[in-house]
Chain A
């Protein structure tokens, strides 16, 4: 697809599974970058070419909501789309994420079919 994706999750297991699910769903990327929290994610976005970010919400150091808020203030990266993948899918939290620019959300756990259904049209 000629695109680069950034996976943001404090669990290395979950980053591996999301990456695997993307491949199983037939969504291939040139590069899959990884970050363990919002701070690392901002560093990757400032230094690499990323087309879409898939981010957890509940993370140490800088959580997904704070990451969205900080990213929205940085001119060079604020328009890169972010999709939330989290156990946190309450209306208030997802509403806040969307108000800060998130383009959608998917609940953990998920299947590769769900990944394809939800993320396929975005990529």
Chain B
């Protein structure tokens, strides 16, 4: 299965089983512009495959997702939102690792981290192959991005 298809499958599974939200693919992209009022969760891969798996949520989508995830009202981008976004990146990273490494010891995952801001660029200074998938929710769109060193 292509990594792109697995990323789509994993994202849909995470959202339907744990966030209690259905998501659909809007489009596949190779680039995206500066991120605005967004929170990014990311996890690094090291070993036979090196790169980063990231999820980019506009604030409004991140709050809606966290609210659904935790079954409580969320009205600001607080610690819960950062934690939830980091955990979504962590679960996606684990799934991607499973595709790239059957045994599990030839690729190491970093701990998840998050960044957020009113406007920032998310890009690698290495030569990478990018897969970016935009998903739609009832509350807006978000992106899942995989950058693997070539």
Contacts and interface: CB of A to CB of B under 8 A. Distances in A.
Contacts of A92: 103-105
Interface stretch (B55-63, B80-88, B141-149): B80-88
B64 to A, nearest CB: 15
Interface in B98-143: 98, 101-105, 109, 111
Contacts of B93: 87
Given A90-B101, A109-B14, A13 B87 contact: yes
Interface size class, chain B: 20 to 34
A74 interface: no
Interface in A1-28: 10-14, 16-17, 20
A95 to B, nearest CB: 9
A43 interface: no
Interface in A37-86: 58-60, 86
Contact of A88 (B71, B83, B94): B94
A89 B103 CA distance: 9
Contact of A111 (B17, B70, B111): B17
Interface residues of A, number: 25
B103 A11 contact: no
Interface in B42-77: 66, 69-71
A16 B70 contact: yes
Interface string A100-123: 000000011111000000000000
Given A17-B18, A109-B18, 20 more contacts: A13-B80, A13-B83, A13-B84, A14-B87, A58-B94, A58-B111, A60-B111, A86-B94, A87-B93, A87-B94, A87-B109, A90-B97, A90-B104, A91-B103, A92-B105, A94-B104, A109-B13, A109-B14, A109-B91, A111-B17
Interface of B: 13-14, 17-18, 66, 69-71, 79-80, 83-84, 86-87, 90-91, 93-95, 97-98, 101-105, 109, 111
Interface of A: 10-14, 16-17, 20, 58-60, 86-94, 107-111
